[in-house]
Homo-oligomer: A and B are copies of this chain.
């Protein structure tokens, strides 16, 4: 049995490159940017009027002039006007190009207009005020967004501004999520007394959806030849297989054997943690016909690795292991920096086993402090307790007493 940190390291050493694809920019929210976004021109691209009002040549104001004859109107979206007489002014609109021969904008609130004459009613006018100078926010070819950033609404605005109608992003892995366990029936079915409905695969689908990763699901009966033949195909077809169940010590926990027989290299089985201990993790080098990242082998087939996460079947075990292992594996695979999040424990906790304890907590924000209050569940089968929590706090295995006020890493899922 290895430690949680050893398990994390093993997983982070098994990252995959799924390649890059180009997609319409408006579909790219939540995806990982795979190119540098540069300014295609200066920003702003011209001396930009920043207030509705009049534009003047400041030197005349400085010399005491207060009445300015209105020579015209510079609307946003019109070609630049040129003020013919420098003593005059031009009405200007926010977003317009500052007219030639003007340098300062006085907002309408500080002006009275009568009979074509604008009279400035305040004395506190600064030269070049209310003008957003060309290139102030950025010069052409400046890097506006670095590679490997998650695209959010903020980035969408920049992509639109620089004309990136399509954008390069990390390709998504092709994922199959498999449930096992003959006690499981479909969501729309009425279970018999000894049956329960499938739920873990749908939890996993939703956890992957948070990362924008679409996935497929399947259920395989607890029958070794059937498992073997189906998984053999999945190893050819998918970048990642996620399993829930059949990795523990039960008579029908065939997955570890099946993986071995199919040549999936076991990187570890069992991690010193609660819940989620019987976690199986491995990697298979498959030769297959599909076109995906990677290199050609001699026979014209394509070699790639399929990564296999065999999560224990208890709902909380599957849930926490997906967050604690699949998430960082995916983040590193697509080039994202993994950020650790911490919170302040809000109660004393005693946990004697020599295991890392992933304890469910409810998070709350108090004056800039993130407070983690333990939620008492009924063990790893108690799915409903996840609803009342927001995160897991990770209490390390080398201690048994954890005090209110101490700070630990958390994995939040909302």
A interface list, Cβ under 8 A from B: 25-26, 29, 39, 41, 43-46, 48, 50, 52-53, 73, 75-80, 91, 93-97, 107-109, 132, 136-138, 144-145, 149-150, 152-165, 181-184, 187-200, 202-207, 209-210, 222, 245, 248-253, 313-315, 319, 339-344, 365-371, 377-379, 381-387, 389, 407, 413-414
State which of B78, B156, B196 has its C-beta within 8 Å of the C-beta of A194.
Answer: B78
Q: Is the CB of B370 within 8 A of A368?
A: yes
In the complex, what residue of chain B is closest to A383 when comparing beta carbons? B157
Taking CB atoms, residues of chain B closer than 8 Å to A200 are 157
Cβ 8 A contact of A160, one of B199, B207, B314:
B199
Number of chain copies forming the complex: 2
CB A246 to nearest CB in B, in angstroms, measures: 10
Residue from B25, B76, B386 within 8 A of A154 (CB atoms): B386
Question: Could you tell me the distance between the alpha carbons of A52 and B97 in the complex, rounded to whole angstroms?
Answer: 75
Max chain B C-beta neighbours (<10 A), residue from A78, A194, A195 = A194
- Nearest Cβ distance between residue A318 and chain B, in whole angstroms? 9
A94-B313, A369-B369 given; A199·B157 CB < 8 A: yes
Q: Please, how many angstroms separate the alpha-carbon atoms of A95 and B278 in the complex?
A: 15
Considering the complex of A and B, which 10 residue pairs feature the smallest CB-CB distances, nearest first? Answer: A77-B182, A77-B183, A153-B206, A154-B386, A160-B199, A344-B368, A52-B250, A157-B203, A93-B250, A76-B183
A66 to chain B, nearest CB (A): 20
Indicate which residue in B96, B209, B369 contacts A368 across the interface (CB closer than 8 Å).
Answer: B369
With contacts A187-B165, A252-B75, A381-B132 taken as known, whether A157 is within 8 angstroms of B319 at the C-beta atoms is yes
Contact at B387–A203, with CB atoms within 8 Å?
A: no
In angstroms, how far is the closest chain B Cβ from the Cβ of A174? Answer: 19
When A25-B187, A79-B193, A199-B160 are in contact, do A52 and B249 touch as well, CB less than 8 Å?
yes
Set of chain B residues within 8 Å of A382, measured between Cβ atoms? 43, 136-137
Q: A50-B381, A184-B77, A195-B77 are in contact. Are A413 and B95 (CB under 8 A)?
A: no
- Chain B residues whose C-beta falls within 8 Å of the C-beta of A44 in the assembled complex: 196, 381
Query: In the complex, what distance in Å separates the CA atom of A386 from the CA atom of B157?
Result: 9
Whether the Cβ atoms of A79 and B160 lie closer than 8 Å is no
**Interface-central residue, A75, A76, A200, A248, by most chain B CB under 10 Å:** A76
Bound Cα distance A378, B136 (Å):
7
A407: which of B344, B367, B407 is its contact (CB, 8 Å)? B367
